[in-house]
Structure 1
Amino acid sequence: MLFAIIIAVLGAPRVPAPTVDDGQTFDVVVYGGTSAGIAAAVQADRMGKSVVVVSPDVHLGGLSSGGLGWTDSGRKDGIGGISREFYHRVWQKYQEPDAWRWQSRDDYGNKGQGTPAIDGENRTMWIFEPHIAEAVFEDLVADHDIPVVRDAWLDRNAGVEKNGNRIVRITTLDGQTFRGSMFIDATYEGDLMAAAGVSYTVGRESNAQYGETLNGVQKKRAVSHQFDFPVDPYVTPGDPSSGLLPLIHDEDPGLDGEADHRLQAYCFRMCLTDHPENRVPFAKPEGYDPNQYELLRRYLQSGFKGVFNKFDPIPNRKTDTNNHGAFSTDNIGMNYDYPEASYERRREIIAEHEQYQKGLMYFLANDPDIPDDIRSKATSYGLSRDEFTDNDHWPHQIYVREARRMVSDFVMTERHLRGIDATPDSVGMGSYNMDSHNVQRYVDENGHARNEGDIQISPGGPYQISYRALVPKEEECANLVVPVCLSSSHIAYGSIRMEPVFMILGQSAATGAVLAIDHDTSVQEIPADALRDRLLQDGQVLDLPDSTSNRPNVSFQSSELDGIVIDDEEAELVGNWGISSALRPFVDLGYRHDHHEGKGTKAATYHAALEPGSYEVRIAYAPSSNRATNVPILIHHAEGQTALTVNQRQSPAGPGPFQSLGTFRFDGESRVEVRNEGTNGHVILDAVQFLPR
């Protein structure tokens, strides 16, 4: 029994890895012990090649074993190969009675993110504790006798030796050397890629660069994890001369859609528990300053109650605690120099994030100004005593949501995810929302604190990911594959960057690398049919019938429609409107909806400059059974105002998504208002069209 308890706390005993001789040559060298790195190494071994994992980290699995147990998976049927095998092995771990130490299986239930946590039919489990995930990764390398060299940090200045456009060997800071025929950079930072001279970018591209709509600065669209109440940002409320509170930028946030250098926020995915016997109370961190959280104090006192909305339950009365709300675990604006920073500077950034987050939890549990209901609930939680036991129960991996991104001959963009542009040579699928966390906090035009950058928009279905996005330009490096910091725009990466997808891409990257050896060619020139056939043989899912690439593109382009069309992008909005493209048809790239919330507080006004005359006014919407039947619309015209309602459950009369509202005379200025007051379902905003009559 004692041995079972030890395993439950620490995971399975680590089997000593095979020894590695200095300078030994491998078929495949994987740099990075992330989930993608382990999947890549396992695939290389299964394809009969010698492989080594050179890991800067001691613990294997990256975020998958670092606290992210509430899997951001999207469509489960798009997950195949070694990635699905990982979740099957997790399921196997939880079939053991000793796995349920602090909670019974029945008490846990089966709540997951969109699908059941435990899928008995497919023998997979998508929600899990960190130590269970780490044990699975250790099992994978032990089962395949894969050597893992831990705490081995690439010499980023002089540790990559190349012969022409090929890497010959890499050297770590402690002097170890690893030769290989092929290399895989599976790190979250892309350090090997950068040191090898491969092109990359950091930050957000402009919308114009790749013909996107969700890239660059996002003020207008940043409606989630936003301040629901006005909060004063100044040290002395109402006095700008007193200076800004901590964690608020004094810079202009930029123009919507323009490029910048900034990154979505990082955090730690804490594993918390409310079980008294396993709970470690939140301690006051060294250097704790309650003034760092003054903005949150004011927000809570204004009425915010969402502190615990992302304490997502994982087995044994634990949580995967993620950011939620305008001021939470995301340390907004404090990570901009992380991707390019030295190891020493990165450690400083990580330490600052740790202090911020530990201080946040101590603040919520102890500050006398916190509302009693929130403070008492925060006090009931603490760190899980049986997780991260060698790091004071704190996660060993910070959530690097985005760092460097390769720039290759092919770049995955929003257009590929939505199915507007074709995606060649699929090696796996993604399906999660195009998701960027907030990037900066600033003072808006009303003198209130405001967040910028949060985007959560569906691509419209599962989508393919191209092998071409995993390989550099051939002239830069012919024997390197990059499954994590792949060639992608910021907003496309926001969907791709999920742990199940990284494992998918790690396996596909290794397949490409091995085929390059077998065909004596570069990773760029491997036969596409051989790659596809091997991936399918190994259980990868390369397409689904309802993927965006297979769906008819029935959206309407405003630039191609008759008359004058004002899309929801150009409307003057009041209140927080969600953005979607889940149902077609729609105009341009999607539509807005009111979440069926905040009735009477949300409105949109469409302004159009018209030549005097009569115009038919049409409104576009995508119908559904959850829509409102009584959407109020007010048309301002030359004769005054006309009020009417539209039933958005009924299909528009057409053409396409448009419903006619009648013909009216305008003297130049026109205005159409849509409100959600008194409505009995979701209110949809799309385009308004004015046709001369």
Structure 2
Amino acid sequence: MLLKKVMLPACMLLLAGQSLFAVTPREVDVCIYGGTSAGVIAAYTAKQLHKTVLLISPDKHLGGLTTGGLGYTDIGNKSAITGISRDFYRRIGQHYGKLEQWIFEPHVAADIFQQYIDAAKVNVLYEYQLNSVRKKNGYITEITVKGHTSEVVKAKMFIDCSYEGDLMAKAGVAYTVGREANSLYHETYNGVQMMHEHQFPDGVDPYKIPGKPESGLLWGISPATLDAPGTGDKKVQAYNYRICLTNQPNNQVPITKPEDYDPSRYELLLRLLPKLNAPTLNTIMIISHMPGGKTDINNRGAFSTDMIGMNYDYPEADDATRQRIIKAHENYTKGLLYFIGHDERMPELLRKEMLAWGYPKDEYTDNGHWSPQMYVREVRRMVGAYVMTQANCEGHEKISDGVGMAAYTMDSHNCQRIVVNGMVKNEGDVQKGGFGPYPVSYRSIIPKASDCKNLLVPVCLSASHIAYGSIRMEPVFMVLGQSAATAAAVAIDGHAPVQDVDVTAVQRMLKENPLANNSKPEILVDNDDEAHTVKSGSWDRVTWGGYGPSFLADTSKGATDKFMRFLPEVPAQGRYKVYAYIPRVPNHATVTWVKINNGQQETRIPVKSESVKVEGQTSGEWVDLGVHTLSAGKNTYVEISNRESDGVVVADAILFIPE
């Protein structure tokens, strides 16, 4: 039977997979792409600011790395974490019975992010991938995403909160991948860097048959040659997983041999171990202990959980290729754990240590008890209206349009594993700190006006490789997510492109309404706030380990009376929870006396050094001074003195939280 060729009108010609009927667009004020921690906070903020919002998550889980195993939070300095980001860690603290906490189990973080989504009634599309972007006159008019269905989304403002910067890239915004040459931004820690951290000691042979180059290189070693220091390239710092294990037998799933297991991938570890002094499991990987008998395990040393050099294709890859790279990292990491515990060539002590751990039954229950989020430390970086650089991190270049603070070390993991002088070496690791909190420019989270006028990019923001290494921490991403959503609301209300937003208005909103819910802001008085402090006697100023730029210390053991008085401006009479930030220092006074005067009565409170419970990446803690009724105005003060002290007395910051 012959079939007639039927000619259809052009308007009825369909691409494969398209519906016969046009998709009705979803229309919102703010569309956020990326279900990361920044995406959740941005969506919550925009809803709190009375905008209609759609959050699109390419994954079925929200929270990114914060719910994906990174429970040992990279802080840098607690004073840099503000607004809803700080509220998140306060909610973590509430769960564990503290004011705030920076170490936590993955499922606890997931529950708290869900609280934000539920409270604001944020509409979320799960497992939808960006397909296309349409622009007109410099504005994104709509995007198409595909998941269970195909959806078209129109919005006045778009925020790219993905780790990959896919919306930014498809919108035609300028970006870069890899490392800039030091010469580009007059930096010293960018480009190729051969340093001593996370490095192989001399003498580790790189060849399959030791001493025989003709036998070929061991797995994971690149044949590339070492470029000159500071040379730029497109190499991407290593990815890994932040591994959640448990040592609680009743909550364990055994670590078994993964698919595609190949013990030859770990031959370098066997060659490294004899070079180490009495290695333990914690020598090979950083085992940070979380509540519930769990871990946040990270890379440590020359050969560990980082899969160096295996991620170069990830930034520009399609989803299928990215999934293959993700699976390869998962198999490598699970294989490493299995190898350490079961390969008879491993020292018995290490095998025994490894076998004490297992995957937690109560984490990632819909993903085989394994994190659904690979640690993609760096993917694309926008080249926007302003580029943050090493000079910003170190305080040599100042900006006035800050919409968040960063404070972490300039941190890059290794980018390649190569042969140098016949020995295996890692290249690319940089760990450079020693600077205080610094502002992140608003212009670094927006594109150039010529690229796009209604897009904000708080995650793949505009920064050099080495500056991004300091900024790219989860709490900072949340801060910048809130700032981006606030700026989006200001842009919508002012009918302005993001480049014309009044940054002072954004800064004012972030300061006066830090939780975006019109609650009363807390009052913080820091020792560096000269307008609200009075000092008696000579104190040492210490610029490490405190809250904010510094703290004060006295080592005289009360030989001469000294005090530091903190003077809050109380907006309205009421009950306030009062806390003192106490850095833990050597030879800390057993008891420090704190006096609270509320304008009517005086209370003297002993703070015992043993009450300063320091957990996580911090050297101090908030100590509860009780609830006090404070009168309005400037009548209240809190005084820390060195009287009756038997050691070092510290004075740093006082916090007043309205009940």
For residue 91 of structure 1, report the CA deviation from its aligned partner: 1.7
Aligned: 1:29 with 2:31 = yes
SS in 1 for 2:245: strand
SS in 2 for 1:435: strand
Whether the 8 Å CA contact 2:201–2:275 is kept in 1: the answer is no
- The letter of the residue matching 1:53 is L
SS in 2 for 1:288: coil
User: Structure 1 stretch 433-442 or stretch 85-94: which is displaced more?
Assistant: 85-94
Which residue is equivalent to 1:399? 375
Q: Which of 436, 451, 462 is equivalent to 1:476?
A: 451
Which residue is equivalent to 1:566? none
For residue 409 of structure 1, report the CA deviation from its aligned partner: 2.4
For residue 286 of structure 1, report the CA deviation from its aligned partner: 1.4
Aligned: 1:268 with 2:241 = yes
Whether the 8 Å CA contact 1:169–1:179 is kept in 2: the answer is yes
Which residue is equivalent to 2:180? 205
Q: Which of 286, 291, 299 is equivalent to 1:323?
A: 299
For residue 235 of structure 1, report the CA deviation from its aligned partner: 0.4
Which residue is equivalent to 2:210? 237
Number of residue-to-residue matches in the alignment? 499
Aligned: 1:430 with 2:430 = no
Aligned: 1:294 with 2:263 = no
User: Structure 1 stretch 303-312 or stretch 47-56: which is displaced more?
Assistant: 303-312
- Inter-partner Cα distance in structure 2 for 1:371 and 1:544: 53
- Inter-partner Cα distance in structure 2 for 1:292 and 1:33: 33
Which residue is equivalent to 1:417? 393
Q: What is the correspondence of 1:125-524 to structure 2 with a 5 Å cutoff?
A: 125-155=101-131, 159-173=132-146, 174-219=149-194, 222-228=195-201, 230-303=203-276, 305=279, 307-309=281-283, 310-445=286-421, 447-458=422-433, 460-524=435-499
Q: Which of 509, 513, 522 is equivalent to 1:534?
A: 509
SS in 2 for 1:399: coil
- Inter-partner Cα distance in structure 1 for 2:433 and 2:123: 40
Which residue is equivalent to 2:87? 85
- Inter-partner Cα distance in structure 2 for 1:228 and 1:256: 20
- Inter-partner Cα distance in structure 1 for 2:265 and 2:525: 48
SS in 1 for 2:150: coil
For residue 281 of structure 1, report the CA deviation from its aligned partner: 1.7
Which residue is equivalent to 2:45? 43
Whether the 8 Å CA contact 1:236–1:242 is kept in 2: the answer is yes
- 1:593-651 per-position Cα deviation (integer Å, ceiling 9, x unaligned): xxxxxxxxxxxxxxxxxxxxxxxxxxxxxxxx99xxxxxxxxxxxxxxxxxxxxxxxxx
For residue 94 of structure 1, report the CA deviation from its aligned partner: 2.5
- Inter-partner Cα distance in structure 1 for 2:434 and 2:315: 27
User: Structure 1 stretch 224-233 or stretch 288-297: which is displaced more?
Assistant: 224-233
- The letter of the residue matching 1:50 is T
SS in 2 for 1:204: coil
Which residue is equivalent to 2:519? none
Whether the 8 Å CA contact 1:418–1:460 is kept in 2: the answer is yes
Whether the 8 Å CA contact 1:24–1:178 is kept in 2: the answer is yes
- 1:327-361 per-position Cα deviation (integer Å, ceiling 9, x unaligned): 00000000011010010000000010011001100
For residue 545 of structure 1, report the CA deviation from its aligned partner: 8.1
- Inter-partner Cα distance in structure 2 for 1:383 and 1:453: 31
Whether the 8 Å CA contact 1:427–1:467 is kept in 2: the answer is yes
Which residue is equivalent to 2:577? none
Which residue is equivalent to 1:617? none
Whether the 8 Å CA contact 1:434–1:459 is kept in 2: the answer is no
Q: 1:274 to 1:236 in 2, by over 3 A?
A: same
Which residue is equivalent to 1:684? none
For residue 46 of structure 1, report the CA deviation from its aligned partner: 1.1
Identity across matched positions, percent: 49
For residue 371 of structure 1, report the CA deviation from its aligned partner: 0.8
Q: TM-score, normalised by structure 1?
A: 0.70
- Inter-partner Cα distance in structure 2 for 1:45 and 1:179: 17
- 1:637-675 per-position Cα deviation (integer Å, ceiling 9, x unaligned): xxxxxxxxxxxxxxxxxxxxxxxxxxxxxxxxxxxxxxx
- 1:210-247 per-position Cα deviation (integer Å, ceiling 9, x unaligned): 0000000001xx21111235211110111111111000
- The letter of the residue matching 1:183 is F
Whether the 8 Å CA contact 2:290–2:296 is kept in 1: the answer is yes
User: Structure 1 stretch 72-81 or stretch 313-322: which is displaced more?
Assistant: 72-81
Whether the 8 Å CA contact 1:89–1:136 is kept in 2: the answer is yes
Whether the 8 Å CA contact 1:307–1:325 is kept in 2: the answer is no
Q: 1:544 to 1:514 in 2, by over 3 A?
A: farther
Unaligned runs of 5+ in 1: 1-20, 96-119, 548-581, 584-624, 627-693
Q: 1:198 to 1:180 in 2, by over 3 A?
A: same
Q: Which of 478, 500, 507 is equivalent to 1:525?
A: 500
For residue 472 of structure 1, report the CA deviation from its aligned partner: 0.1
- Inter-partner Cα distance in structure 2 for 1:410 and 1:326: 35
Q: What is the correspondence of 1:108-127 to structure 2 with a 5 Å cutoff?
A: 120=98, 123-127=99-103
For residue 538 of structure 1, report the CA deviation from its aligned partner: 2.6
Whether the 8 Å CA contact 1:36–1:484 is kept in 2: the answer is yes
Whether the 8 Å CA contact 1:78–1:544 is kept in 2: the answer is no
Which residue is equivalent to 2:555? none
SS in 2 for 1:125: coil
- The letter of the residue matching 1:160 is V
SS in 2 for 1:249: coil
- The letter of the residue matching 1:386 is D
